[in-house]
Structure 1
Amino acid sequence: MDELDAYSRTVSAVAAELIGRVAAVRMSRGTGSAVVIGPDELLTNAHVVGEGHSGHVDFVDGSEVPVRVAGSDPLSDLALLRARTVAGLPEPVRLGDADRLVVGQLVVAVGNPLGLAGSVTAGVVSALGRSLPTRSGQAGRVVEDVIQTDAALNPGNSGGALADSHARVVGINTAVAGAGLGLAVPVNATTLRIVDALRTHGRVRRAYLGVVGRPAPVPAAVAERCGRRTGLKLAEVIPGSPAARAGLRPGDLVLDVGRRPVHDAQGVQRQLFGDAINTPLPVTVLRNGAMVDVIAVPTEL
């Protein structure tokens, strides 16, 4: 009973802090949830807003606030809403860092599934580093490093909060992968960079390299020399892409991009925002036991 009581107290405390700060979203062609992240801003999913430009958000206290879409990024499935009124939004949530999550950690989902406002479910982080195909219509594009949870998610939860035991929002719920499986876009430094771009420009400019890969171990002898345990093993290099023109090949193990260590696909994506477009980008790979340096020049996606 003591363990159950402690668990219940934790979930209840998270719910109490977040329920009033997660709204139900009504757009012209879609519904979902949104999280208050600033004095006049809410974060939701791009697929919730769709092609819409304006709508309303409703809070559990009965208040209704008109909003407009300040920016949308289908490739991360994130969208930024801005309130049309000077006042009316609750205090913003506290944002956490999904990069610090561990499998088995308690998480709490807050949203408006099936139109049921202020719904709370709890579970654990089931897995990290999942990939989610985007709804952008661009074949082969995925949202990387998605959080998998067994906290129950249903239609309408999209855009809602996934929080840790301290009520810090670590994810934006985005999809139901099947019975007992939910997925959330991580809240981390990359997400904040995307939000800042939406806030400033209404869209996210991205550089394109043209590689597909997965994390793989670095051979022990090389790992000792370079202090690296994992890299990104290239499964595919898109023909005619900047990566192909630079000489990258399937089977290469990427160790550094832009002079920064790379351990997974997200490590590459962090280097591929607007400032990397048409700019020489050094890439270090391990090929047939030897270090190979190439210079790629990413184009705009």
Structure 2
Amino acid sequence: MTHPEQPFSGHTPPPAPAQFAAPSPVPAPAPNPAPNPFAAPSHVAAPYGPPAPFAPAAPAPAHVPVPTFDDGPRWPGDDGGVDVPAPAPAPVRQRRAGLPLGWVVLLVVVALVAGATGGVVSSRVFDDGRLAEAGLPVTVSTGAGDRAPESVAGIAAVVLPSVVSIEVVGPNGTSTGSGFVLRQDGYVLTNHHVVADATAAGATTVVLFGDGTEEPATIVGQTADYDIAVLKVERTGLVPLALGDSDLAVVGDPVIAVGAPLGLEGTVTTGIVSALNRPVSAGGADTDTAFINAIQTDAAINPGNSGGPLVNASGEVIGVNSAIAQPPGSFSGSSGSIGLGFAIPSNQARRTAEQLIETGAATYPIIGVLLDQRYAGEGVQVAADAQGGTAPVTPRGPADNAGIRSGDVILAIDGRPVTDPDELIVAIRAKTPGDTVVLRVRTGDDERDVRVVLDESSGS
């Protein structure tokens, strides 16, 4: 089906500027995986200094397993053990000449004093469990609870309990993504592509909360057009995140992304708003295309972050992390974050989520034209001919009523120049049906401003 404003395929359209940060299936870990590449190698130091003179030869070393001690992540069953030679027993030194009696008496006295002192220290340590009385300095930590509310740590402490991980088990395997609590009565917001397989026969969807508990979830509604989905779990008393006003965001604002990249729950990354109104058409050859008037950020976003919140310095959600850009020639999931992530503005997410909760479907605004993807001049051009049985300008549609005709060139919307069909599409879809936009239109050599009242598409 061809949607109005959808560029018709006079030729194969160029690749989408960004690809979904879609989660890849996460296989179960192998019982004996390869050693962790991030772990620091373990070394056994050789004894220092040469052996004593006339020391007997040490016996041949025995091989025993010695565990490594590193801070790297491990798969279950990876004990980190390696076989290394056991250190040779200490060499036997020749007995020295005896000390004078006076030295022996002095050493005995010192040993007795040291022993008595050690007894006092030991008593103080073990009687009440405190080291302070032994004269050792003590550092008093302020603790995470004393972080300023506006700090990253303070914001993360508030946001993390309301961020969830989502796991979908379907016929194609297991995939994971992120989401966040939308309402206290069990509604959760995420991306459509995170739960795209959840409607398949036999598929199951589970929401994992920050406290380690989990609940089965059902799909309330989803739309590929905006890449938004709403889930429902049978739990009340949840703490929702506040949806902020994304229209107030400006380039340079600090932001925090929270989610489960690559299945690592509760991950927090920081950055800024890198750009606004970035036209992103995200999807694949075998999936529906979402047109997003996106917030761009350099906060690290990877597959698995999809559906998680992008919050501002007040802890308010201003975006739903949805897509990432990838270098030309790379395939989906082949690279990590390159600092080009895209989020659905919260104002758009709010409108779409309300529709999904109320009706189970969502609509989007249209002007009722087909755009020519082959046009390479200034602005974007309305198709000159019908495509697939669809007229270039929908009869009695918004554009037709405003006097726009096939072959006209649209130069700007609400004063913002457009140079690519996707720019016009996402700018229109960021509005609401019934809104009025001003289009700068050129017919031949004549330019004029045209007021167009946006119509509503059918639900999806």
TM-score, length-scaled by structure 1? 0.75
2:381 to 201, 218, 236: 236
Contact 1:111/1:117 (CA < 8 Å) preserved in 2? Answer: yes
After TM superposition, give the deviation of residue 105 of structure 1 in Å.
1.0
Structure 2 counterpart of 1:52? 198
> Are 1:31 and 2:198 counterparts?
no
Aligned equivalents of 1:98, 1:236: Cα separation in 2: 30
Q: 1:138–1:237: structure 2 CA closer, same or farther, 3 Å change rule?
A: farther
Structure 1 counterpart of 2:188? 42
After TM superposition, give the deviation of residue 155 of structure 1 in Å.
1.5
Contact 2:218/2:231 (CA < 8 Å) preserved in 1? Answer: yes
Q: Which AA in structure 1 matches 2:448? A: M
2:340 to 175, 181, 184: 181
Q: 1:237–1:50: structure 2 CA closer, same or farther, 3 Å change rule?
A: same
After TM superposition, give the deviation of residue 205 of structure 1 in Å.
2.8
Aligned equivalents of 2:209, 2:346: Cα separation in 1: 22
Structure 2 counterpart of 1:110? 258
Q: Which AA in structure 1 matches 2:210? A: V
Aligned equivalents of 1:130, 1:210: Cα separation in 2: 22
Structure 2 counterpart of 1:93? 241
**Long gaps (5+) in structure 1:** 1-5, 214-232, 256-260
Structure 2 counterpart of 1:223? none
**Secondary structure in 2 aligned to 1:95?**
coil
Q: 1:148–1:297: structure 2 CA closer, same or farther, 3 Å change rule?
A: closer
After TM superposition, give the deviation of residue 90 of structure 1 in Å.
2.5
Superposed counterparts of 1:151-300, under 5 Å: 151-178=299-326, 179-188=338-347, 190-208=348-366, 209-210=368-369, 234-238=379-383, 239-240=385-386, 244=393, 246=400, 247=405, 249-254=407-412, 261=414, 263=416, 265=424, 266-270=426-430, 273=433, 285-287=440-442, 288-291=445-448, 293=450, 300=457
Contact 1:107/1:123 (CA < 8 Å) preserved in 2? Answer: yes
After TM superposition, give the deviation of residue 133 of structure 1 in Å.
1.9
Structure 2 counterpart of 1:18? 159
Aligned equivalents of 2:275, 2:430: Cα separation in 1: 21
After TM superposition, give the deviation of residue 59 of structure 1 in Å.
1.4
Aligned equivalents of 2:410, 2:192: Cα separation in 1: 34
Q: Which AA in structure 2 matches 1:20? A: P
Task: Give CA deviations for 1:43-85 in whole Å, capped at 9, x if unaligned.
Answer: 10000000314511111211112211111111111111111x1
Task: Give CA deviations for 1:131-170 in whole Å, capped at 9, x if unaligned.
Answer: 2223276999552321111111112111101000110001
Q: 1:242–1:92: structure 2 CA closer, same or farther, 3 Å change rule?
A: farther
After TM superposition, give the deviation of residue 96 of structure 1 in Å.
0.8
Aligned equivalents of 2:321, 2:454: Cα separation in 1: 34
Identity %: 31
Superposed counterparts of 1:68-147, under 5 Å: 68-83=218-233, 85-87=234-236, 90-135=238-283, 141-147=289-295
Aligned equivalents of 2:286, 2:362: Cα separation in 1: 15
Structure 2 counterpart of 1:224? none
Q: 1:96–1:212: structure 2 CA closer, same or farther, 3 Å change rule?
A: farther
Q: 1:112–1:289: structure 2 CA closer, same or farther, 3 Å change rule?
A: same
**Secondary structure in 2 aligned to 1:50?**
coil
Q: Rg: which structure is higher? A: 2
**Secondary structure in 2 aligned to 1:252?**
strand
Deviates more, 1:125-134 or 1:202-211: 202-211
| RMSD (Å), alpha carbons | 3.3
Task: Give CA deviations for 1:178-215 in whole Å, capped at 9, x if unaligned.
Answer: 32221111111x332211111112111345423559xx
Contact 1:131/1:142 (CA < 8 Å) preserved in 2? Answer: no
Considering fraction of residues, name the structure with more strand: 1
After TM superposition, give the deviation of residue 7 of structure 1 in Å.
9.7
**Secondary structure in 2 aligned to 1:147?**
strand
Structure 2 counterpart of 1:225? none
**Secondary structure in 1 aligned to 2:231?**
strand
Contact 2:282/2:323 (CA < 8 Å) preserved in 1? Answer: no
TM-score, length-scaled by structure 2? 0.51
Task: Give CA deviations for 1:214-265 in whole Å, capped at 9, x if unaligned.
Answer: xxxxxxxxxxxxxxxxxxx74132443566353154433355xxxxx56473
Q: 1:250–1:156: structure 2 CA closer, same or farther, 3 Å change rule?
A: same
Aligned equivalents of 1:174, 1:77: Cα separation in 2: 8
Contact 1:242/1:299 (CA < 8 Å) preserved in 2? Answer: no
Q: 1:162–1:249: structure 2 CA closer, same or farther, 3 Å change rule?
A: same
Q: 1:250–1:9: structure 2 CA closer, same or farther, 3 Å change rule?
A: same
**Long gaps (5+) in structure 2:** 1-146, 327-337, 373-377, 395-399, 417-422
Aligned equivalents of 2:284, 2:224: Cα separation in 1: 5
